[in-house]
Amino acid sequence: MKGAIQMETVSTPTVRTYRIRLEFKGKKVAIAPDEIKAKDQILEHINSMLPMAETASGLTFIKEDFVTNVAFKEKCTETLNRYTVCYILETECLNDGETETEVIEKTNKQMLNIVHEVERFLNASSGDDNNFVKELTRFG
Protein backbone atom coordinates (compact mmCIF):
# COMPACT_ATOMS: atom_id res chain seq x y z
CA MET A 1 0.00 0.00 0.00
CA LYS A 2 1.63 3.14 -1.21
CA GLY A 3 1.62 6.17 1.07
CA ALA A 4 0.45 4.22 4.13
CA ILE A 5 1.88 5.25 7.45
CA GLN A 6 3.56 2.47 9.35
CA MET A 7 3.13 2.46 13.09
CA GLU A 8 6.13 1.65 15.24
CA THR A 9 5.62 -0.37 18.35
CA VAL A 10 7.20 1.28 21.36
CA SER A 11 7.83 -0.90 24.35
CA THR A 12 8.06 0.65 27.76
CA PRO A 13 10.25 -0.85 30.43
CA THR A 14 8.51 -2.75 33.17
CA VAL A 15 8.95 -0.86 36.40
CA ARG A 16 8.34 -2.85 39.56
CA THR A 17 8.01 -1.79 43.16
CA TYR A 18 10.16 -3.53 45.77
CA ARG A 19 10.04 -3.60 49.54
CA ILE A 20 13.58 -3.21 50.82
CA ARG A 21 14.85 -4.13 54.27
CA LEU A 22 17.81 -1.92 55.13
CA GLU A 23 20.60 -2.22 57.67
CA PHE A 24 22.70 0.58 59.12
CA LYS A 25 25.75 -0.99 60.73
CA GLY A 26 27.63 1.08 63.27
CA LYS A 27 30.24 1.08 66.02
CA LYS A 28 30.53 2.99 69.26
CA VAL A 29 33.06 2.93 72.06
CA ALA A 30 31.89 2.41 75.63
CA ILE A 31 33.84 2.69 78.85
CA ALA A 32 32.33 0.40 81.45
CA PRO A 33 33.31 -2.19 84.06
CA ASP A 34 32.14 -5.16 81.94
CA GLU A 35 30.59 -6.19 78.61
CA ILE A 36 27.03 -6.17 79.95
CA LYS A 37 27.33 -2.59 81.25
CA ALA A 38 28.96 -1.52 77.96
CA LYS A 39 26.06 -3.00 75.98
CA ASP A 40 23.49 -1.38 78.29
CA GLN A 41 25.26 1.97 77.98
CA ILE A 42 25.12 1.89 74.17
CA LEU A 43 21.51 0.65 74.08
CA GLU A 44 20.46 3.48 76.39
CA HIS A 45 22.25 6.03 74.21
CA ILE A 46 20.79 4.70 70.94
CA ASN A 47 17.27 4.52 72.37
CA SER A 48 17.46 8.09 73.66
CA MET A 49 18.80 9.53 70.39
CA LEU A 50 16.91 7.38 67.88
CA PRO A 51 13.79 9.58 67.69
CA MET A 52 15.91 12.57 66.57
CA ALA A 53 17.85 10.42 64.09
CA GLU A 54 14.54 9.13 62.67
CA THR A 55 13.16 12.64 62.28
CA ALA A 56 16.33 13.92 60.60
CA SER A 57 16.65 10.94 58.23
CA GLY A 58 12.94 10.45 57.52
CA LEU A 59 13.22 6.77 58.42
CA THR A 60 11.56 4.68 61.11
CA PHE A 61 13.84 2.08 62.65
CA ILE A 62 12.63 -1.28 63.89
CA LYS A 63 12.89 -1.29 67.68
CA GLU A 64 14.70 -4.41 68.84
CA ASP A 65 18.03 -5.36 70.39
CA PHE A 66 20.45 -3.46 68.14
CA VAL A 67 23.74 -4.66 69.62
CA THR A 68 25.44 -7.44 67.66
CA ASN A 69 28.85 -7.62 69.33
CA VAL A 70 30.74 -6.25 72.33
CA ALA A 71 34.52 -6.62 72.16
CA PHE A 72 37.11 -5.76 74.80
CA LYS A 73 39.49 -3.11 73.47
CA GLU A 74 41.73 -2.10 76.40
CA LYS A 75 41.92 -1.66 80.15
CA CYS A 76 41.47 1.98 81.21
CA THR A 77 41.61 1.82 85.00
CA GLU A 78 41.34 -0.81 87.72
CA THR A 79 37.57 -0.92 87.34
CA LEU A 80 36.88 0.39 83.81
CA ASN A 81 37.58 -1.06 80.38
CA ARG A 82 37.10 0.26 76.87
CA TYR A 83 34.81 -1.81 74.63
CA THR A 84 33.90 -1.56 70.96
CA VAL A 85 30.17 -2.09 70.60
CA CYS A 86 28.79 -2.98 67.17
CA TYR A 87 25.12 -2.49 66.36
CA ILE A 88 22.69 -2.78 63.48
CA LEU A 89 19.64 -0.59 62.96
CA GLU A 90 17.01 -1.95 60.58
CA THR A 91 14.30 -0.18 58.61
CA GLU A 92 12.19 -0.72 55.50
CA CYS A 93 11.31 1.36 52.47
CA LEU A 94 9.73 1.01 49.02
CA ASN A 95 11.55 1.77 45.79
CA ASP A 96 10.85 1.31 42.06
CA GLY A 97 13.03 0.03 39.27
CA GLU A 98 13.26 -2.19 36.21
CA THR A 99 15.60 -4.73 37.80
CA GLU A 100 16.61 -5.79 41.28
CA THR A 101 20.16 -4.56 40.62
CA GLU A 102 18.86 -1.12 39.66
CA VAL A 103 16.72 -0.93 42.79
CA ILE A 104 19.62 -1.97 45.04
CA GLU A 105 21.98 0.61 43.49
CA LYS A 106 19.35 3.35 43.64
CA THR A 107 18.48 2.58 47.27
CA ASN A 108 22.13 2.45 48.38
CA LYS A 109 22.76 5.87 46.78
CA GLN A 110 19.72 7.32 48.56
CA MET A 111 20.86 5.89 51.90
CA LEU A 112 24.37 7.32 51.46
CA ASN A 113 22.76 10.75 51.30
CA ILE A 114 21.07 10.34 54.69
CA VAL A 115 23.34 8.02 56.71
CA HIS A 116 25.28 11.03 57.99
CA GLU A 117 22.10 12.22 59.74
CA VAL A 118 21.84 8.94 61.62
CA GLU A 119 25.56 9.00 62.48
CA ARG A 120 25.37 12.61 63.69
CA PHE A 121 22.60 11.98 66.19
CA LEU A 122 23.92 8.66 67.39
CA ASN A 123 27.48 10.02 67.55
CA ALA A 124 28.66 6.85 65.85
CA SER A 125 30.43 5.65 62.75
CA SER A 126 28.86 3.37 60.17
CA GLY A 127 32.23 2.46 58.70
CA ASP A 128 32.91 1.94 55.02
CA ASP A 129 30.10 -0.50 54.24
CA ASN A 130 28.00 1.28 51.61
CA ASN A 131 25.61 -1.62 51.08
CA PHE A 132 22.52 -0.97 53.16
CA VAL A 133 20.17 -3.44 51.43
CA LYS A 134 19.65 -6.60 53.45
CA GLU A 135 16.61 -8.05 51.73
CA LEU A 136 14.61 -7.24 48.60
CA THR A 137 11.04 -8.41 48.01
CA ARG A 138 8.88 -7.66 44.99
CA PHE A 139 5.90 -5.70 46.22
CA GLY A 140 2.47 -6.12 44.72
Position 6 in a domain: no
Position 114 in a domain: yes
The count of other CB atoms within 10 Å of the CB of residue 81 is 18
Position 3 scores a pLDDT of: 64
Q: What is the pLDDT of residues 80-126, one digit of tens each?
A: 999 999 999 999 999 999 999 999 999 999 998 888 888 888 888 77
Structural domain span for residue 110: 17-139
Mean pLDDT of 23-44: 94
Position 80 scores a pLDDT of: 96
How many domains in the chain? 1
Position 66 in a domain: yes
Position 2 in a domain: no
pTM: 0.77
C-alpha span between 132 and 61 (Å, rounded): 13
